[in-house]
Amino acid sequence: MKIINKDIYSELRGSVLPVVIYGTGNGADKIINEFDRRGIKICGIAASDDFVRGQSFRGFTVKKISDFEREYDDFIIITAFGTSLTDVIERIFSLSERHTVLAADVPVYGENIWDMDFYEENREDIERAYELFADSRSKDVYEKLINYKLSGRLSYLRSAYSDKDEVFREILCLCDSESYLDLGAYRGDTIDELLHYTGGKYSHITALEPDRKTFAKLKAHVREMKNIRLYRMGIWSDDTDLPFDASLGRGSGIRQGGSEMLAVTKIDTLYHTKRLSYLKMDVEGCERQAIIGGVQTLRRDKPKLNIAVYHRSEDIFSIPLLISSIVPDYRLYLRQHPYIPAWDLNLYGI
C-alpha cells in the first residue's frame, strides 16, 4: 500500500488560509471540538443557501459560501455533514474546483481519530487486513479510503466509489430462497433491497430495529409480507438489557447514559435452530459485538455478509480481521458507495 505521510490536522496547522466549517449539528460539533483540541482555528460556519436564516452556531453567525467568497480571496472548506444525495455530492465536488474542500473523518462512535499516530499504532493490523481482501478492487478501495481518512481529500474518496448493483449482481448473487437477517432494518429499505434483487422471493426474513418510532414504520411497511418476524430489539454479544439513546433518529444507538433500557439479543440466539443464508448488519457501532454473538452461526452456516464498517475508526481493518479469525475461508470484499464522508462503506463476504 502507498500511504501518505501527512494528515489533515498537520495540513491545517501549517496553512495560512482561513478555515470554514460547512454544516451545523452533531458532525460539526465533533469536528470543531477536535480542531479545538489540536489548536486549529476556524473563521466561520457556512451552510447551504436554503438553510441560512441568520442563525448562530458555536458563536458564529451562519453564512452562505458566497458570503465567505466575498470576504476572502481563498479559504479551506471542511464539510461537516453526511449526504448520499447525488446533487449535494456534485455540489461539494463543484466547490472543490474553486477551493480546497476537505471532509474530516471523525467517527460516528468511539474515540479513535484517524491521524498519523493512529495509523502508525495500528499499522500491523491495517496491513494484515489489506491482505485478506479477495480482489484487486477491494485492495484499491481500502488503500484509497485510508488515504482519505488521513487527509480528508475528496479525490481519494470519489475515486473509491462504486454502485451497489455490482455488489448484488456479481458478489452476493442473492437467490430466491434466502433466509435473511436484517440487523438495523430501519423502515424496511434494506428489506426492499433484498426483494429487488431476488424478484420478491425469499424463504424467511428476521428483522431487528431498536428505535420505537422507526419500528412502528417498519411494521407498517411489511404488514402484507409473509414469513417475516420483527423484533424491537438491539443486537449484541449476549442476551441482556442495555441503555439506548433514541435522540439521534437514524443514528440512535446503544450507549452509556441512554434514556431507556433496551432488550438486546445475539445472532446465535435468533438462529439457534434456524439456518441463516444472508446477514446484513448496520447497527450503529455495535457490529463487533454482534459478530461475537454470532460465532456459532457464522461457523455453521457461513452466510453471505453485508456489514457496515464505517461507524468506528478501527472498523475498516478490525472487522475484516475478526471475520477472518472466525471463518478463515470467507472471501472478503470492500466497497465504498457514494457518500460524503466515507459512510456507506461495507464489507461483503461469501
pLDDT digit string, tens, across residues 195-222: 999 999 999 999 999 999 999 999 999 9
User: CA quadruple 257, 260, 261, 263: dihedral positive or negative?
Assistant: negative
Buried b (16+ CB within 10 A) or exposed e, 182-213: bbbbbbbebbebbbebbeeebbbbbbbbbbee
DSSP string, 90-106: HHHHHHTTTSEEEE---
Task: Give the span between the Cα atoms of 190 and 185, in whole angstroms.
Answer: 6
Closest CA to 41 of 63, 68, 14, 7: 14
pLDDT of residue 235: 97
pLDDT category at 244 given cuts 50, 70, 90 is confident
- The residue ranking higher by pLDDT, 53 or 114, is 114
Residue 260's pLDDT is 83
Instruction: Label residue 258 by pLDDT band (50, 70, 90).
Output: low
Q: pLDDT tens digit string along 35-48?
A: 999 999 999 999 99
Q: Is the pLDDT assigned to residue 252 strictly greater than 70?
A: no
User: Can the peptide bond before residue 210 be classed as cis, meaning omega within 30 degrees of 0?
Assistant: no
Does the pLDDT of residue 251 top 70, yes or no?
Answer: no
Q: What is d(CA 207, CA 204) in angstroms, rounded to the nearest whole number? A: 10
Q: When comparing pLDDT for 184 and 254, which is higher?
A: 184
Within 13 Å of residue 98, how many CA atoms lie on the same side as its CB? 13
Q: Given pLDDT bands bounded at 50, 70 and 90, which one contains residue 259?
A: low
Q: Over pLDDT 70: what percentage of the chain?
A: 96
Per-residue pLDDT band at 246 (split at 50, 70, 90): confident
Query: 3-class DSSP state for residue 63?
Result: strand
Averaged pLDDT of the chain: 95
Whether 318 shows a pLDDT value over 90: the answer reads yes
* Domains located in the chain, CATH noted: 8-131 (3.40.50.20), 164-308 (3.40.50.150)
pLDDT digits (tens, 9 = 90+) for 84-100: 999 999 999 999 999 99
pLDDT digits (tens, 9 = 90+) for 123-179: 999 999 999 999 999 999 999 999 999 999 999 999 999 999 999 999 999 999 999
pLDDT above 90 as % of the chain: 93
How many angstroms from the chain centroid is the CA of residue 160? 15
Grid cell digits, residue 11? 495540513
- Which of 73, 66, 10, 78 lies closest to 38, judged by CA? 10
- The residue-averaged pLDDT of 173-186 equals 98
DSSP conformational letter for 172: I
Strands ordered across the beta sheet of 345-349: 228-231, 204-208, 179-183, 278-281, 304-308, 345-349, 332-336
* Residue 263, pLDDT above cutoff 70: yes
Reported as a pLDDT band with limits 50, 70 and 90, residue 50 is confident
Q: Where are the alpha helices (DSSP H) in the chain?
A: 8-13, 26-37, 65-71, 86-95, 116-121, 123-130, 136-151, 154-158, 164-166, 189-198, 212-221, 267-270, 287-292, 295-301, 315-326
C-alpha distances out from residue 202 to 152, 199, 266, 278, Å:
41, 9, 22, 11
Please name the residue that has the C-alpha cell 496547522: 13
Compare 28 and 51 and report the one with higher pLDDT. Answer: 28
SS3 310: coil
